[in-house]
């Protein structure tokens, strides 16, 4: 049995899958995801090893960055604006996996605890947002453990949406 404890940092890219989020009224406006920007995460990780099996809990502060394009009747005029939004969460993944040599395969649940957000969308009259305080999802991926450095590549999904933009 062995363990490693350390600091973890990295970058993430969000893909919402849907490009058009909603149309509240076709005569009013339409909001479309223009693109997502690179996010950053950082925190701590503990890796427990029992023979070839691992248990790896982590606590990470994560940012999600998205650019939106709003087209339609905005503040009484027909216009198009670009808006940026940043969402900050504490992510708590619990990865369970198998390790052979330097290669590691793992998967597990992840909790997303909503911290706060900042958004240019508040400039739009009548806009509000509501995020779930706690959201659950899953992660799966692979990693390399070389000396005291770990490199991970993960894919993540969620069991439901993060919140609503109204």
Domain contains 149? yes
Domain contains 80? no
pLDDT tens, residue by residue, 36-86 = 678 899 999 999 999 999 999 999 999 988 877 777 665 566 667 777 888
Indicate the pTM of the whole model.
0.74
Which tokens is 83 given? 């808006």
Helices then strands (H, E): number in the chain? Answer: 0, 11
Max CA separation in the chain (angstroms): 66
Domain contains 25? no
Would you state the pLDDT for residue 72? 67
Domain count of the chain?
A: 1
pLDDT tens, residue by residue, 85-118 = 888 999 999 999 999 999 999 999 999 999 987 7
β-bridge mates for residue 10, sequence order = 41
Answer yes or no: is pLDDT of 25 > 60. no
Domain contains 51? yes
Domain contains 144? yes
How confident is the model over 6-30, as a mean pLDDT?
Answer: 65
Domain contains 128? yes
Contact (CB, 8 A) for 48 and 108 = no
Distance set, CA 69 to CA 92, 141, 150 (Å): 31, 32, 37
Domain contains 72? no
- The CATH number given to whatever domain includes residue 7 is 2.40.160
Residue-number span of the structural domain to which 138 is assigned: 2-14+40-66+89-160
Answer yes or no: is pLDDT of 157 > 60. yes
4 confidence band (pLDDT: 50, 70, 90)? confident
Domain contains 83? no
């Amino acid at each position: 049995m062995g363990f490693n404890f350390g600091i973890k940092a990295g970058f993430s890219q969000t893909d919402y899958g849907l490009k058009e989020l909603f149309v509240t009224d076709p005569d009013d406006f339409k909001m479309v995801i223009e693109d997502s920007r690179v996010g950053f995460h950082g925190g701590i990780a503990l890796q427990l090893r029992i023979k070839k099996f691992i248990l790896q809990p982590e606590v990470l502060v994560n940012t999600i960055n998205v650019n939106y394009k709003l087209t339609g009747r905005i503040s009484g005029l027909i216009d198009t604006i670009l808006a940026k939004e940043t969402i900050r969460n504490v992510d708590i993944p619990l990865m369970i996996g198998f390790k052979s040599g330097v290669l590691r395969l793992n998967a597990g649940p992840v909790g997303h605890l909503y911290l706060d957000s900042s958004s240019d969308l508040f400039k739009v009259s009548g806009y509000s947002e509501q995020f779930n305080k706690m959201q659950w999802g899953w992660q799966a991926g692979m990693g390399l453990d070389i000396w005291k450095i770990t490199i991970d590549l993960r894919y993540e999904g969620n069991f439901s949406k993060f919140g609503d933009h109204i």
